[in-house]
Amino acid sequence: MTSNSTLHILNKAPEHPRYQACINALAPSDTLVLIENGVLSAAGNQLHAPCTLYALKADIDARALEAACENLNTIDYDELVQLTATHPKIISW
Amino acid sequence: MSTLIVIDQAPYGFWTGREALDMAFSLAAFDQPAAMLFTGAGVNWLRKGQRPDGVGQKSAEKNLSAAPLFGIEALIADEHACQQYGLTESTMLPGVELVSNIRDVLGDHKHVVFAG
Amino acid sequence: MPNSLTFTLVITGAPWTSQAPQTALMFATAALSAGHSIDRVFLYGDGVHLASSLSTPPSDEAHWPQQWSVFLKKHDIPATACIASALRRGLIDKTEQARYELPAENLLAPFEIAGLGEWVEGSQAADRTIYFHGN
């Protein structure tokens, strides 16, 4: 059960100051979802998240990052909704 | 349970911080507990002696100094960001709590909100 | 495990500046299909541009304000643009047009203009408040 962990939704590219702030805030029991420009961090091995990690498939496909993201768990909008339903605490970065 | 409003953008060059402050004041006006966290370039809100007449804006410092009167429970600043921007106790607004572990601060609040 | 939850959605990113309105609409559609309900949509900061009735993208591009308008009407979801954010950015309803004696109003139905109290109330009452920010 994930009820005491935080769901982090990150839509910033790695250059954005808030990107690193989010990564620094992650606890091992948390879950991180990359959406929008956030999925760019999967390109070029820039991503080091110490917790459960998902990325939104529509944003990966849009940016032609399927190959870079092949080791990531990808989710669709339905699964994103499920994650928000199972996590009472959510931070949108 | 409290809401933490986070400001991570500098005053004057961005409007988001002012809209974040409005959110915090609104919570307080509706008797909902609210605290504010200043991190990254957002710590520049906390510098004393701002004189924004020349840029045609209201003083962020003056707006923020009303926070205790409005009932904002705490003004919290990221210690590392303060060091980065050369802010010391003598150059900062009084009553700001310095923290080194942001993760703990985020964990202490039920809602964590950026204004944009 | 919760079955049906209520969501408040807060959009702070503008259309054509960010993906926020689009991501929020996809999320909202998925939330309803999963049996959840959306209590309220609140536009804040640059997000208020979504409520402009004057946005006119080229006809072969997605029209986010219209898509949101159709979605909100179809599902009878109340949607509010923050009054302070809206007035600063030139989003005006009939009441504010009259109050400030302005030459036009441009608020897209069913959006309404109201204060941050709507956000405070929405985020206290809803099971989840999800923010969609710009970049």
A 10 A CB-CB count for A21 gives: 20
How far apart (Å, rounded) are the C-alpha atoms in residues A58 and A15?
21
pLDDT tens-place string over residues A4-55: 799 999 999 999 999 999 999 999 999 999 999 999 998 887 788 899 999 9
- What local confidence, expressed as pLDDT, does residue C91 receive? 98
Confidence band, pLDDT 50/70/90 cuts, at residue A69: confident
The two structure tokens encoding residue A53: 């990690």
**pLDDT value of residue A71:** 85
CA–CA separation, C27 and A58 (whole Å): 12
Tokens of B92: 């900062």
Counting one residue from A and one from B, how many pairs have CB atoms under 8 Å apart? 26
pLDDT at position B49? 96
Give me the pLDDT at residue C90, please. Answer: 98
Position A45 scores a pLDDT of 74
Give the residue from C87, C88, C131, C135 with the most B CB atoms within 10 Å of its CB, the best one to mutate: C131
Q: What is the pLDDT of residues B28-83, one digit of tens each?
A: 999 999 999 999 999 999 999 999 999 999 999 999 999 999 999 999 999 999 99
Q: Which are the contacts of A75, defined by CB distance < 8 A and separation ≥ 6? A: A33, A54, A55, A56, A57, A83
Kindly state the percentage of chain B with pLDDT values over 90.
99
Give the mean pLDDT of chain B: 96
Maximum alpha-carbon separation in chain C: 52
C10 is catalytic: no
What's the pLDDT score for residue A1?
42
- Give how far C84 is from chain B: nearest CA, Å: 9
Going across the sheet that includes C6-11, the strands are C111-114, C79-82, C37-43, C6-11, C128-132
pLDDT band per the 50, 70, 90 thresholds, residue B105: very high
CA C38/CA A36 separation, integer angstroms: 22
Annotated catalytic residue within C14, C82, C108, C126: C82
Rounded CA-CA distance C112/C79 in Å is 6
pLDDT of B37 reads 98
What's the pLDDT at A47? 86
Closest Cα partner for B62 from B18, B9, B19, B3?
B18
Say if residue A2's pLDDT is above 50: no
pLDDT of A3 reads 53
Question: What is the Cα–Cα distance from B78 to B42, expressed in whole angstroms?
Answer: 9
B17-26: average pLDDT: 97
Only one residue has tokens 């039920």, namely B110
The per-residue DSSP string of B30-65 comes to TT--EEEEE-GGGGGGGBS---GGGGT---HHHHHH
Which of C46, C129, C134 lies at the smallest CB-CB distance from B111? C129
Fold adopted by B3-114: Hypothetical Protein Ychn; Chain: A, (3.40.1260)
**Average pLDDT for B2-27:** 96
Count of helices and strands (H, E) across chain A: 3, 5
H or E segment at B78?
strand B74-78
Average pLDDT (A72-81) is 97
Q: Which residue stretches of chain C have pLDDT < 70?
A: 1-2
Extended beta strands in chain C, E state: 6-11, 37-43, 79-82, 111-114, 128-132
CB of C44 within 8 Å of any CB in chain B? yes
Domains defined for chain A, CATH in brackets: 6-92 (3.40.1260.10)
* Share of residues in chain A with pLDDT > 70 (%): 96
Which candidate, A33, A31, A43, places its Cα nearest to that of A4? Answer: A31
Indicate yes or no: pTM above 0.90: yes
List the domains of chain C with CATH numbers: 13-53+63-132 (3.40.1260.10)
Chain A residues with CB-CB distance to B10 below 8 A: none
Indicate the burial class of A86 (C-beta count within 10 angstroms; 0-12, 13-18, 19 or more). Answer: middle
Q: Which residues of A touch B16 (CB under 8 A)?
A: none
Neighbours of chain C (3+ CB pairs under 8 A): A, B
Whether B103 contacts B4, CB under 8 Å: no
